[in-house]
Structure 1
Amino acid sequence: MKWQRAVATALRPLALTHPQFVVLAGTCWLGRHGRTPSRCQLAEHTGMDAMIASQAARALENKELITREQDPHDTRIKRLRVTAEGVQLARRAIEHVEAIDHDHFEAAPDRAALVEALLALAPPPETGDNDH
């Protein structure tokens, strides 16, 4: 909870909630890797609840930090893309969150063991099969 409060405090001046940060950073990361995800794909990638991811994406779209574009092959699917302003804000937010991560986890006596334990708790990697 201490880490979560620190992240929320760091994101507040950037006018981002933690779910919005996760959606923005996740969409940026996927975009840098040549993907324009649907909301379902983004939720799967980030491990977020699909409804929370959808609400966060809608808020980011209202702030003009991401756009939703029609999929050229399936009119039911909207693809997420980060705007130039969104990329700039994501970079700043990521720097803030990484600084908190460093401060919070640097006390771990065995970082490799900590990373291994956290990875064991993470969901399995996405398959990329879900286009909804």
Structure 2
Amino acid sequence: MSWFSEVATVTNSIFGFGKPEDSPGFLLWQTTIIWQRLIKKSLESYDISHAQFVILAVTLWLESKKCDVSQSMIIDHSKLDKMAVSKSLRNLVTKGYVKRAEHKVDTRAKSVCLTKEGKKFISKLVPIIEKIDSEFFGVLKKENQSELTYILEALVIEKH
């Protein structure tokens, strides 16, 4: 038995896929890394991380729905880690993009709202990120984009 055959036999007994590209998890990982790299590059000149962008965008979205936005709502909608949201919010407060105050209903929670500067800032960034999304996912036909969105949404709902 050749070295390659031995490695192939061991590999086949460990992995459930013949090659990495057959694994949906590995493909999702690769896709996410490529997409995040594009987003990160576009946000660098604005001195904001991808997580901070998502927090600002989620806050803007929730505010547009007349919600009294809390940190837990941001976590729930963004799926970001609690500590990452907390750290990012502190940074965004320091930059003057968000304010935190006592929540009107839940005294244990803090309300999060965009400042005037924060609204202006995120309103400038959203079209930039949406353009990246459009170009990135634009390699797919419209019906495939809809199908991908449906599949990803189902996974988010199921694994929530």
Q: Structure 1 length as normaliser, TM-score? A: 0.87
Cα drift, residue 20 of structure 1: 0.3
Of the structure 1 ranges 73-82 and 7-16, higher mean CA displacement relative to structure 2 is found in: 73-82
Tell me what 1:99 maps to: 131
Q: What percentage of residue pairs aligned between the two structures are identical?
A: 30
Instruction: Supply the distance in 1 between the matched residues of 2:79 and 2:108 (Cα, whole angstroms).
Output: 22
Question: What 5-or-longer segments of structure 2 have no aligned partner?
Answer: 1-32
Instruction: Supply the distance in 1 between the matched residues of 2:150 and 2:104 (Cα, whole angstroms).
Output: 40
Cα drift, residue 21 of structure 1: 0.4
User: Is residue 120 of structure 1 aligned with residue 124 of structure 2?
Assistant: no
Aligned 1:1-132 pairs, distance under 5 A: 1-109=33-141, 110-123=144-157
Instruction: Supply the distance in 2 between the matched residues of 1:73 and 1:107 (Cα, whole angstroms).
Output: 46
Question: What 5-or-longer segments of structure 1 have no aligned partner?
Answer: 127-132
Larger gyration radius, structure 1 or structure 2: 2
Cα–Cα, structure 1 residues 113 and 73, in superposed 2: closer, same or farther, change >3 Å?
closer
Deviations 1:46-85 (A, max 9, x none): 1111111111111101101000011234432210000011
Q: As a proportion of its length, which structure holds more helix?
A: 2
Instruction: Supply the distance in 2 between the matched residues of 1:47 and 1:74 (Cα, whole angstroms).
Output: 21
SS in structure 1 of the partner of residue 117 of structure 2: helix
Q: Structure 2 length as normaliser, TM-score? A: 0.73
Instruction: Supply the distance in 1 between the matched residues of 2:71 and 2:157 (Cα, whole angstroms).
Output: 18
